[in-house]
Amino acid sequence: MAASGVRARLGRAFLLQAVFIGAAAVVGVFLASLLLEGVLIRQALSEESAHFWEQHERDPAFPLPATVNLTGHLGSAPASIAGLPPGYHDRVVDGVDTVVLVSDRGGERLYLMFDRSGVGKLATMFGLLPLAMVLLVLYLTTWLAFRASRRAFSPIIALARAVRGLDPASPDPAQLDPAQLPKDADDEVRELAEALNRYAQRLNEFVARERDFTRDASHELRSPLTVIQLAAGMLETDTGLSEASRRSVARISRASRDMEELTSAFLLLARESQTGLPVEDTCINDVLADELDRARLLAAGRPIESRLTATHRLSVDAPEKVLPVLLGNLLRNAFSYTDAGEVTVEVGEASVVIRDTGVGMAPEQLDAMYQPFVRGDSARRGGHGVGLTIVRRLSDRFGWPVTIESSPGVGTRVEIRFPDARSEPLDG
């Protein structure tokens, strides 16, 4: 389990709790010892002094205190304390830590000396020994509570590991079966396991539907498009067609190819991930050359020059249709929004730059271009308003950043970076 896991955090919490309680107990005993030695000893000396003076007034021969810890002197005292003024004093007398109380009454002076070293030993003995017992019981109960908490969290941690181990493409609900939980698992944990089990079952159903859709749509949509393209190709070879009819057939053929590209893009993006898609070594330069030839058809009748230059040969591992859809959409946009001028494509060390001298876009238009069904110039015919949306989604999906710069009346510059591309420099 990671150091930041639930068990580790729980252990640190119990450990800190035990440390803080132990520290508080030790400080409490220390303060109690100080209170005992400071306040209580002085209070005892004060009461002892008042009692002696009261008895001394009645009987001048009343004896001075003389016990193991308390010694009294009247009038004269040892030289080490003889000059002390009235009040409490801490002194070391004959190597003994002593509290001295000096008091005067009727012209006489009383010295009471209390050996507090014994009190310190008693405070330590009767304070620390019970404290040690209390801390022992406290740490034992803390450890038992920690063990119980770990047992309570174990089923949750097991569920988390099972969820982490699920295959998104084919999750196995059996891994989340509540029957696999320990018998002492809480009801809340079992309810969570049942919810996750149902979620895995629904996820399996969603994955199956997605696979069925992509398989059926791929066949059912592409088949009629193929028929349309074949029929349009046959019509184009018919020498009896008028020029207007030929233009109409060309538009049908071009629209069917665009629809095929859109279908490929939508089917690709409909997948939950690119897992399972066949990946092949794809040359970006070759794809650009093919897509540029197809895009040039959009420039029929308009004075647009186009060229492809390359300083490097780029290759990436990607599904077959990804690059044609991505680059084809950008090239068709460049030709669609250019009335006259040029469209250039440059292949660099790890990027492709597409420039056009078309109508361009204002910043506010550029921000909206990634929204579905938004076109840069609504007055223009053609296009479906989803080209850049597809480009952005493919860019995000495969990690190929796209940057677009545009100015009205100047043109547009699009740069696609391929961080994972294999690059080979081309001679002169």
Q: Which of 164-173, 295-304, 330-339, 368-377 has the lowest mean pLDDT?
A: 368-377
**Is 1 part of any domain?**
no
pTM, to two decimals: 0.49
- pLDDT higher than threshold 80 for residue 125: no
Calculate the alpha carbon distances from 88 to 31, 53, 98, 322 in Å.
20, 17, 10, 95
What distances in angstroms separate CA 236 from CA 159, 246, 248, 258, 297, one per listed residue? 63, 6, 10, 18, 15
> Between these two residues, 231 and 270, which has the higher pLDDT value?
231
Residue in the structure block whose two tokens are 């060390």: 349
Percent of the chain with pLDDT over 90: 19
Instruction: Name which residue leads in pLDDT, 6 or 259.
Output: 259
pLDDT band at 390 (very low <50, low <70, confident <90, very high): confident
For residue 117, the model assigns a pLDDT of 74
**In the predicted structure, residue 290 carries a pLDDT above the cut 60:** yes
Residue 379: what pLDDT?
40
For residues 270 and 334, which has the higher predicted lDDT (pLDDT)? 334
The whole-angstrom separation of Cα 317 and Cα 146 is 52
pLDDT of amino acid 378? 43
Residue 385 has pLDDT above 50, yes or no: no
**What per-residue confidence (pLDDT) applies to 287?**
93
Residues β-bridged to residue 281: 317
Q: Does the residue 286 lie in any domain?
A: yes
**How far apart, in Å, are the Cα atoms of 65 and each of 52, 53, 111, 285, 323?**
8, 12, 10, 112, 107
Mean pLDDT, the chain, rounded, equals: 78
More confident of the two residues 128 and 138: 138
In a 10 Å sphere around its CB, with 0-12 CB exposed, 13-18 middle and 19+ buried, how is residue 296 labelled?
middle
**How many domains are contained in the chain?**
3
Same domain? 205 vs 311: no
Q: Which ranges of 165-273 does DSSP label H, i.e. alpha helix?
A: 187-236, 243-270
The predicted pLDDT at position 389 comes to 79
Per-residue pLDDT band for 409 (boundaries 50, 70, 90) equals confident
Does pLDDT of 265 surpass 50? yes
Predicted local confidence at residue 397, as pLDDT: 86
Around Cβ 411, how many Cβ atoms within 10 Å? 21
Report helix, strand or coil for 372: coil
My answer on whether 227 and 346 are in the same domain is: no
Any domain includes 331: yes
Q: Minimum mean pLDDT among 19-33, 291-305, 406-420: which range?
A: 19-33
Same domain for 318 and 409, yes or no, is yes
| Residue partners of 413: CB distance under 8 A and separation at least 6 | 353, 354, 355, 404, 405, 406
Domain boundary among 146, 181, 206: 146
Q: Which three-class secondary structure state does DSSP give residue 270?
A: helix
Does the pLDDT at position 387 exceed 70? no
Residue 53 lies in a domain: yes
Kindly give, in sequence order, each residue whose CB lies less than 8 Å from that of residue 87, ignoring residues fewer than 6 positions away. Answer: 101, 102
Tokens describing residue 347: 């292949």
Last residue of a domain, one of 243, 275, 307: 275
Q: How far apart are CA 36 and CA 42, in angstroms?
A: 9
Instruction: Evaluate whether residue 133 is within a structural domain.
Output: yes
Within a domain: residue 229? yes
What's the average model confidence in pLDDT over 185-197?
74
Whether 421 shows a pLDDT value over 90: the answer reads: yes
What pLDDT score was predicted for residue 5? Answer: 55
Query: Are 99 and 116 spatial neighbours (Cβ–Cβ below 8 Å)?
Result: yes
Is 384's pLDDT higher than 50? no
Measured between alpha carbons, how far is 347 from 288 in angstroms, rounded to an integer?
A: 9
- pLDDT above 50: residue 178: yes
* Shared domain check, 68 and 181: no
Which of 146-160, 167-181, 188-202, 339-353 holds the top average pLDDT? 339-353
Write down the pLDDT at residue 34. Answer: 63
Q: Are 428 and 311 in contact (CB under 8 A)?
A: no
Residues 6+ apart with CB under 8 A from 260: 222, 225, 229
Bridge partner list, 102: 87, 111
Q: Do residues 13 and 141 share a domain? A: yes
282 and 271: one domain? no
The pLDDT value recorded for residue 367 is 67
Which of 249, 275, 301 represents a domain boundary (last residue)? 275
Same domain for 33 and 68, yes or no, is yes
Helix (H) or strand (E) holding 6: helix 6-35
pLDDT of residue 232 exceeding 50: yes
Is 155 part of a structural domain of the chain?
no
329 within 8 A of 366, measured Cβ to Cβ: no
Cα 256 from Cα 251, distance rounded (Å) = 8
Q: Answer yes or no: do 222 and 289 share one domain.
A: no
- How far apart CA 264 and CA 270 sit, in angstroms, is 10
Residue 96's pLDDT is 83
Domain that holds residue 253: 168-275
What percent of the chain clears pLDDT 70, i.e. is strictly above it? 71
CA distances from residue 266 to 11, 336, 369 in whole angstroms, order as listed: 51, 21, 18
Residue of 323, 337, 313, 176 lying closest to 264 (CA atoms): 323
The domain that holds 386 is classified in CATH as 3.30.565.10
Say if residue 302 is in the same domain as residue 254: no
User: Which residues lie closer than 8 Å to 241 by C-beta, 6 or more apart?
Assistant: 235, 249
